[in-house]
């Protein structure tokens, strides 16, 4: 395999990057990345595109939903640079304006009904915080999660994640987590009747589970049963929220009586890592009583919060563009399903979150590999390996959307005409 040299001569060669990854990090991930990039590594990124060390430019419709605003959105970068020039970390003894402003902006963006925030650095952070607060505020232990759901891989969040792959060798995890069937409207009421339920946690659309939407009627029944019995309702919108799926928060837009919404991924504008728990006073009560009951050194740091405020403003300004992109994706993917019905089993999604379910996990892996080689990055689904996620950014141009759909079309056509597919048909 060739050894592409980074376009900036001051940077290291791709070969050195992979050597360091193999030696000091996960060799398996290094190998996968080397194969995906053809020996090249990421060099720079802007908007909807990533440039590799060999000069190749790839459209980014993946990045696991982080780049809703694309890479290096000008307003977000400017806000972070401005904050960098003034103050980078907080003393955590004094108040910081950037943190306060981000909290206020987030509460306003989500409509104001949930007035409290807690900032983390990633999704697992705020899942952990939400569960901890629910158990403290209710004086109960059990948490209900949904079969197929994904909530992170830290020890507490992993107990809520359903996929057994990530739990092997780690049991027991956080005790008293019960997984309920997504098609059972009476599941929450039945579990509450058995006692000790603190909260129910769900994703309105299960991203890692193949962009699988939960029934709105069932969610309403669950939430109503929970609230009537003093059980907290927590919507994990770390992937779906902030207009990725077309609304600031799907649970709020659906009128569900939630105590909390969890957001992340896109919150940092694709520039800084940041997440947030946004909730009511009832769930936040333990922190109101004792502000030190749950803290983290870098939670709500000024740089991340400056990025969050700028990102929320930029996302809000692109609302109409989001609707246009959603319509383009819905039409284009439906056409691909119509054209390649033997390969494309289903198309699911809304907004800028789409799942393409293919005939097999093997075919999906083949399509994924082809797409990276031909210029399009998408995200696989860990719990549904037969599904590819397409996550276009709000800043994608019409030409870039067309190019992305054309690359998917070409990859499907190549698979449909391959000897292996014809032989198995």
Residue 31 φ/ψ, nearest 5 degrees: -65, -45
Query: Tokens 């193999």 map to which residue?
Result: 22
SS3 assignment, position 357 = strand
Domain end marker among 292, 317, 342? 317
Domain end marker among 284, 317, 350? 317
Residues 290 and 325 both lie in one domain: no
Residues 59 and 1 both lie in one domain: no
**Residues forming beta bridges with residue 348, ordered by sequence position:** 355
Q: 295, 283 in Cβ contact below 8 A?
A: no
pLDDT for 11 equals 54
pLDDT for 34 equals 85
Residues 193 and 91 both lie in one domain: yes
Distance CA 197, CA 192 (A): 6
pLDDT for 422 equals 52
- Give the structural domain span for 32: 1-40
**Angle between helix 302-317 and 319-339 (nearest 10):** 70
Residues 357 and 308 both lie in one domain: no
Q: What is the DSSP string of 305-354?
A: HHHHHHHHHHHHHTHHHHHHHHHHHHHHHHHHHHHTTTTEEEEEEETTEE
Residues 13 and 86 both lie in one domain: no
Distance CA 129, CA 289 (A): 15
Using the CB atoms, write b or e for 152-191: b if 16+ within 10 Å. Answer: bebebbbbbbbbeeebeeeeebbeebebbebeeeebbbeb
pLDDT tens readout for residues 90-149: 999 999 999 999 999 999 999 999 999 999 999 999 999 999 999 999 999 999 999 999
SS3 assignment, position 107 = helix
Using the CB atoms, write b or e for 360-381: b if 16+ within 10 Å. Answer: eeebbebbbebbbeebbbbbbb
Would you give per-residue pLDDT tens digits along the chain (425 residues)? 444 444 454 356 888 998 999 999 999 988 888 888 889 999 999 999 999 999 999 999 999 999 999 999 999 999 999 999 999 999 999 999 999 999 999 999 999 999 999 999 999 999 999 999 999 999 999 999 999 999 999 889 999 999 998 898 988 887 799 999 999 999 999 999 999 999 999 999 999 999 999 999 999 999 999 999 999 999 999 999 999 999 999 999 999 999 999 999 999 999 999 999 999 999 999 999 999 999 999 999 999 999 999 999 999 999 999 999 999 999 999 999 999 999 999 999 999 999 999 999 999 999 999 999 999 999 999 899 999 999 999 999 999 999 999 999 999 999 999 855 554 55
**Angle between helix 398-416 and 319-339 (nearest 10):** 20
Output the domain CATH number for residue 345: 3.90.1150.10
Q: 249, 261 in Cβ contact below 8 A?
A: yes
pLDDT for 10 equals 37
**Residues forming beta bridges with residue 144, ordered by sequence position:** 178, 200
Residues 349 and 235 both lie in one domain: no
Residues 186 and 226 both lie in one domain: yes
pLDDT for 400 equals 98
**Residues forming beta bridges with residue 45, ordered by sequence position:** 50
Residues 91 and 161 both lie in one domain: yes
Residues 207 and 96 both lie in one domain: yes
**Integer CA distances (angstroms), 412 to 161, 174, 210, 392, in order:** 32, 43, 19, 19
SS3 assignment, position 40 = coil
**Integer CA distances (angstroms), 96 to 78, 114, 226, 298, 303, in order:** 19, 21, 36, 13, 11
Question: Model pTM?
Answer: 0.94
Residues 187 and 105 both lie in one domain: yes
Residues 246 and 328 both lie in one domain: no
- What would the two tokens of residue 165 be? 């792959």
pLDDT for 170 equals 86
C-alpha atoms less than 13 angstroms from C-alpha of 209 in its C-beta half-sphere: 21
**Residues forming beta bridges with residue 260, ordered by sequence position:** 234, 279
pLDDT for 5 equals 45
pLDDT for 155 equals 87
Domain end marker among 271, 299, 317? 317
Chain centre to alpha carbon of residue 110: 17
Residues 199 and 258 both lie in one domain: yes
- What would the two tokens of residue 156 be? 């507490």
Please count the structural domains in the chain. Answer: 3
Output the domain CATH number for residue 192: 3.40.640.10
Chain centre to alpha carbon of residue 274: 12
């Amino acid at each position: 395999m060739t050894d592409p040299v980074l376009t900036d001569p001051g940077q290291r060669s791709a070969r050195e990057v992979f050597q360091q990854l193999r030696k000091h990090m996960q060799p398996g991930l290094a190998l996968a990345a080397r194969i995906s990039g053809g020996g090249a590594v990421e060099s720079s990124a802007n908007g909807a595109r990533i440039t590799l060390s060999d000069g190749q430019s790839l459209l980014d419709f993946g990045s696991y939903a982080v780049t809703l605003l694309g890479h290096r959105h000008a307003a977000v970068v400017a806000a972070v640079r401005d904050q960098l020039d003034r103050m980078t970390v907080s003393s955590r003894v004094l108040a910081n304006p950037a943190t306060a402003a981000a909290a206020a902006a987030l509460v306003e963006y989500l409509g104001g009904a949930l007035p409290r925030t807690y900032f983390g650095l990633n999704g697992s952070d705020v899942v952990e915080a939400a569960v901890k607060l629910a158990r403290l505020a209710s004086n109960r232990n059990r948490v209900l999660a949904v079969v197929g759901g994904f909530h992170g891989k830290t020890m507490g969040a992993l107990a809520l994640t359903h996929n057994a792959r990530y739990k092997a060798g780690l049991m027991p995890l956080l005790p008293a987590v019960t997984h309920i069937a997504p098609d059972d409207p009476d599941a929450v009421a039945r579990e509450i009747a058995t006692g000790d339920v603190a909260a129910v946690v769900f994703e309105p659309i299960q991203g890692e589970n193949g962009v699988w939407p939960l029934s709105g009627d069932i969610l309403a029944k669950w939430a109503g049963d929970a609230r009537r019995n003093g059980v907290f309702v927590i919507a994990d919108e770390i992937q779906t929220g902030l207009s990725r799926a077309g609304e600031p928060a799907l649970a709020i837009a659906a009128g569900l009586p939630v105590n909390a919404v969890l957001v992340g991924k896109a919150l940092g504008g694709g520039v800084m890592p940041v997440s947030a728990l946004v909730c009511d006073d009832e769930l936040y009560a333990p922190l109101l009583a004792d502000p030190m009951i749950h803290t983290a050194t870098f939670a709500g740091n000024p740089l991340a919060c400056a990025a969050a405020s700028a990102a929320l403003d930029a996302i809000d300004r692109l609302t109409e563009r989001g609707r246009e992109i959603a319509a383009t994706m819905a039409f284009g993917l439906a056409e691909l399903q119509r054209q390649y019905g033997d390969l494309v089993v289903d198309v699911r999604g809304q907004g800028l979150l789409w799942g393409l379910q293919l005939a097999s996990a093997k075919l999906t892996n083949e399509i994924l590999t082809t797409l990276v080689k031909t210029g399009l990055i998408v995200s696989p689904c860990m719990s549904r390996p037969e599904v590819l996620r397409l996550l276009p950014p709000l800043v994608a141009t019409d030409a870039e959307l067309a190019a992305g759909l054309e690359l998917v079309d070409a990859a499907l056509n190549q698979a449909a005409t391959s000897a292996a597919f014809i032989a198995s048909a």
